[in-house]
Amino acid sequence: MIFGEISFITWNFIHSLNGDVRFINTLPLQLCSYAIIGLIITLILCNKKVYNYVYIFGVVSFLALLFPNLNHGVNSFRYYQLYFSHSLLMIALFYMYKIHGFYPKKDDLIKSFVFLQILIVISLILNVILNTDFLFIGPGNKPIDFAWDWPGHMIQYEFFMVVVYFIFYKILKKLNEVQNG
Mean pLDDT by 10 residues, the chain (181 residues): 86 81 77 88 93 83 74 79 87 88 83 86 86 73 59 75 79 78 65
- C-alpha to C-alpha distance for 40 and 172, rounded to whole angstroms: 21
Residue 76 DSSP code = S
Query: Which pLDDT does position 140 carry in this prediction?
Result: 60
**Which of 29, 152, 130, 108 is CA-nearest to residue 8?**
29
Residue 113: half-sphere exposure toward Cβ, Cα within 13 Å: 16
Query: Which pLDDT does position 141 carry in this prediction?
Result: 58
**HEC states along 98-124?**
HHHCCCCCHHHHHHHHHHHHHHHHHHH
Query: Which pLDDT does position 138 carry in this prediction?
Result: 64
- C-alpha to C-alpha distance for 88 and 174, rounded to whole angstroms: 22
Query: Which pLDDT does position 74 carry in this prediction?
Result: 80
